[in-house]
Amino acid sequence: MSALNVSIGRDRGDLGRAAAGRIAAELRRLAGFNREIPVLFASAPSQNETLAALAAEPNLPWDRVVAFHLDEYLGLSETHPASFRRYLHDHLFRARPVKRFFGIAGESARPESEIARYADLLRAYPPEIALLGIGENGHLAFNDPGVCDFSDPVAMKVAASSRFTTACSPPSPKSPPTLSRSRSPNCCVCRSSS
């Protein structure tokens, strides 16, 4: 990424539509020469308007999208109302099925094995597009301010709060594909509604 483009929306809907338009354009561009398009999705209220607008975009190559998500709670099944896998299903994949969705198995009895499995998948399918959101306290996925180590080469770990999270390390030839290695990052930051 050579430059950061910033857009300011009038409201959350305006911001979501603008982000969805950019993401849709990139999906269409990538479909011209990719059989599969790996996409990393955030799963939080900061994404509601973007995902709704993206689902409404016509003629997107959903049949080529290989989807990932950023984080998951330990111990939750994908049917639990707080599961981020369920969030993506409810907010996007039910309306727009993708070629493949690789979810983080929060209910895994062996978190270390799940981390290795998911990190291997991220290496096999380096994300071309990342939909990111920054939370009200400045967190990105479960990477909280002051805790994230930008020199950590690990692709994924269990956060101190007992949650799976993708790591926030910057790109380098030796580091695995993580948040910052997406070729087309898109981040929505929404002001609190209160």
- pLDDT the model gives residue 2: 53
**pLDDT reading at 187 higher than 80:** no
CATH number of the domain bearing residue 161 = 3.40.50.1360
Within 13 A of 174's CA, how many CA atoms are on the CB side? 4
In a domain, residue 1? The reply is: no
Task: Rank 38-42, 99-103, 163-167, 170-174 by mean pLDDT and report only the highest.
Answer: 99-103
Lowest-pLDDT range, 73-77, 122-126, 141-145? 141-145
In a domain, residue 176? The reply is: yes
- pLDDT the model gives residue 194: 40
In a domain, residue 5? The reply is: no
**pLDDT reading at 171 higher than 50:** no
In a domain, residue 4? The reply is: no
In a domain, residue 118? The reply is: yes
**pLDDT reading at 162 higher than 80:** no
Please indicate, yes or no, whether the overall pTM of this predicted structure exceeds 0.75. yes
Q: What are the residues whose beta carbons fall under 8 Å from the beta carbon of 37, sequence distance 6 or more?
A: 27, 30, 31, 61, 64, 65, 66, 128, 129
Provide the mean pLDDT of the chain.
78
- Residues 108, 87: Cα–Cα separation, whole Å: 18
Domain count, the chain: 1
In a domain, residue 6? The reply is: no
- pLDDT the model gives residue 42: 86
- pLDDT the model gives residue 92: 96
Owning domain of residue 48: 12-188
**pLDDT reading at 158 higher than 80:** no
Lowest-pLDDT range, 34-48, 99-113, 137-151? 137-151
Residue of higher predicted confidence among 106 and 192: 106
- pLDDT the model gives residue 163: 54
Q: Which two tokens stand for residue 114?
A: 């799940």
In a domain, residue 193? The reply is: no
Q: What are the residues whose beta carbons fall under 8 Å from the beta carbon of 62, sequence distance 6 or more?
A: 96, 97, 98, 99
β-pair partners for 72: 164
